[in-house]
Structure 1
Amino acid sequence: MPDSLVTGPAAALEPEPITAVPLRRPGRWLAAAVLVALLALFVYGAATNSAYHWDTYRKYLFDTRISHGALVTLELTVLAMLIGVVLGMLLAVMRLSPNPVLRSASWLYLWIFRGTPVYVQLVFWGLFPSLYKTIDLGVPFGPQLLHLNVQSWSAPFLFAMIGLGLNEAAYMAEIVRAGINSVGDGQREASVALGMTWGQTMRRTVLPQAMRVIIPPTGNEFISMLKTTSLVTAIPLSTDLYGVARTIYGANFQPIPLLLAAATWYLAVTSVLMIGQHYLERYYSRGVSRQLTARQLRALAQVHEIGK
């Protein structure tokens, strides 16, 4: 029976509609006002401080040398992360392997590269031509197959890429290992029951499911790698973003505006990467959340109408 036709005692027992009053939170507004005031004071103080040399900042912000340095930094980040991801996955699989030799080799690699600062590692890569003047590969007590004269190399970008990539592989190995361990044992047992080997189980069953756990921290590592490239001055590499800014302020003796210009480029690139990371995480998290989307709700409503 429609509610409009209900009369008599039944209508009198219906509760009155509740008028909801929002809870007042003056503390939030007070904290927001204080933060806005402090931010305004900082911006005003920085804008009126002549020591920042804002004219020099505007002059070099879109300088071709700075923009080219940003491109070199991005290339170095991508290549180093590619080495780190591929080698990190291999190290993670070795760490979980039933072979004790592979497990020990992986543990030793992680112990060395995670236990020493990346800047120190890059210094050693910068001194690589002094440590190894030549590299000879061949059969022991037999013919020589390959001879490399390291002294003739002049490739700081190559050494920087290798140094950053090998260091990143140690951290990516732990991320991949955590993702693999997040997959239930039942998935492995089902793969073994189907006749898959240990390698096939990892490649076809475990790793695809572990990606939703691996992707978010990998995105964070990618953004962190972009900023870590500023340490390649230890090689030394002077064509990256920070290296170019350092070269310019070494000539005009104005480090503050050049560092601000470099920081602006770092911030812009990381902002774009954070947006890409957001959409990548959303793609790999499909089916995990229990909250239904609008399309799923409409489909359920249609099924309910058909059932009537």
Structure 2
Amino acid sequence: MELNDVLAEVRATVGTVTTGVVTSAIPALARVDPHRFGMAFAGVDGEVVGVGDWDEAFSVQSVSKVFSLALVLAHDGEALWTRVRRQPSVHRFNSLSELDGDCGIPRNPFVNAGALVVTDRLLGITGHAKESVLALLLTESGGGPYVDHAVAADEQAHNHRNSAIAHLIADHGNLHHPVEDVLAHYTGHCAIAATCGQLATAALFLARGGIRANGERLLSAADTTRLNATLLTCGTYDAAGDFAYSVGLPAKSGIGGGILAVIPGRGILCAWGPALDTHGNSVAATLALSTFTSITGWSIF
């Protein structure tokens, strides 16, 4: 089938979804229409196709953690892993229950605790973590992503749990910058808005073995493989096992309703649907990606 036909079939399947709830954690996101849906595929050959609301910007939220981690790995390589583990978590993405027992070492870089440590390290490397993430997205996508300051302000005003997580990490000596600075930069890059097409295009280095749009190398082939492996085991929180079973691709989700998925050697998929399941993953986007891989056979397995 042609990709446009595949995407049309995916959209028809997703149209049957009636479950899921838009996040209430951030008031600006709670007002988003839960029935919106978009999906895009960006190929390593330059092809970009989409369906539905694929050219409408949405809040990327935790999908930004893919890009912050890539920037740190590009500079630090293996050094980061002394401060963050690579283990799946059986708890929610914003849980504190494991953190104290683990002496402030987060289970993986995609739960909020781990992403705060990654942001802290990126702040140390660049001096401006949120701007660095935005710059990478802008450069690799060809332009378009921006910080949604209304979402950022709402998130800052309701950031109590992340603040508690950051203070607990700091108490164990695993943050090297003031908590308030780390939280501001973390919130800033989570509040970036982008379309499915822009996100899929920006992440193509993950499908090209670490090679950027201009042909330069961002990550080594080995680090790209390891990042993708961590996405597979940890990128969709405590539902990572079920996601790998049903979709079969490394992926990162966010409570804005987006899911970014990597097809090594082929391209990147990005699907968006604001209504979430109990794990914090988009119901529509998960179904869309599962349907896509079932039709095409483009799984890593």
Task: Name the larger-Rg structure.
Answer: 1
Bin of the TM-score, shorter chain as denominator length: under 0.3
**Structure with more helix by fraction:** 1
**Greater relative contact order structure (CA < 8 Å, 6+ sep):** 2
**Structure with more strand by fraction:** 2
Give me the TM-score of the superposition, normalised by structure 2.
Answer: 0.24
